[in-house]
Amino acid sequence: MAERELSELIEKVVEVKRVSKVVKGGRRFSFSALVVVGDGKGRVGYGSGKANEVTEAVRKGTEQAKKAMRLFPLYKSTIPHQVIGHHGAAKILMRPCRPGSGIISAGAVRAVMECVGIHDINVKAKGSSNSGNLVRSALNGLGQLRSFQEAARLRGAEVDQICLVGF
């Protein structure tokens, strides 16, 4: 059961960098990989790996991402409400969209949205364009999401009273 669950995960390599270390004989090159892993049903995690070969760096990042997976509330194929995620200088504004709108976003954040299972969202990134910070700020924003059931419970209202109209 666990084997099949792990094989159904969506893995996206966001970025691979060649990094160098200067030593007495010259430079030593290695690779750093940023990987996002999700199940397409609300669970997603990220990880970074570093090794002398690209494949090994990606494998290490994938293992770290699988361990760091968290569950986020979704509403159909979008998010329940607008949210702003922060990390470092990166700031991300995420807005829900109608079905069929698609993922309106750029590289690093698009990978997170595809892995978590969001198909209709509008994302605007401001500040830093660093891929690592964008991924972390996207996950920060997703962490701030509250489901309609949770919001109704906190307000003492019915779910029908706070649900999105037209979605």
- Report pLDDT digits (tens) over 91-147: 999 999 999 999 999 889 999 999 999 999 999 999 999 999 999 999 999 999 988
Total number of domains in the chain? 2
Host domain of residue 81: 73-147
Asked whether residue 59 falls in the same domain as residue 83, the answer is no
119 and 64, same domain (yes or no): no
Please indicate, yes or no, whether residues 105 and 132 belong to a single structural domain of this protein.
yes
22 shares its domain with 77: no
Residues 6+ apart with CB under 8 A from 94: 79, 82, 83, 84, 85, 121, 122, 123, 138, 141, 142
Euclidean distance between CA atoms 118 and 128, whole angstroms: 23
Contact 10, 114 (CB under 8 A): yes
Listed residues 70, 90, 111: the one ending a domain: 70
Within a domain: 163: no
Q: How far is CA 14 from CA 17, 84, 107, in A?
A: 10, 21, 7
Residue 164 lies in a domain: no
Look at the chain and count its residues. Answer: 167
For residue 115, the model assigns a pLDDT of 95
> Is 158 part of a structural domain of the chain?
no
C-alpha–C-alpha distance, residues 122 and 78, integer Å: 9
2-38 pLDDT tens trace: 555 556 899 999 999 999 999 999 999 999 999 999 9
Q: Please indicate, yes or no, whether residues 140 and 103 belong to a single structural domain of this protein.
A: yes
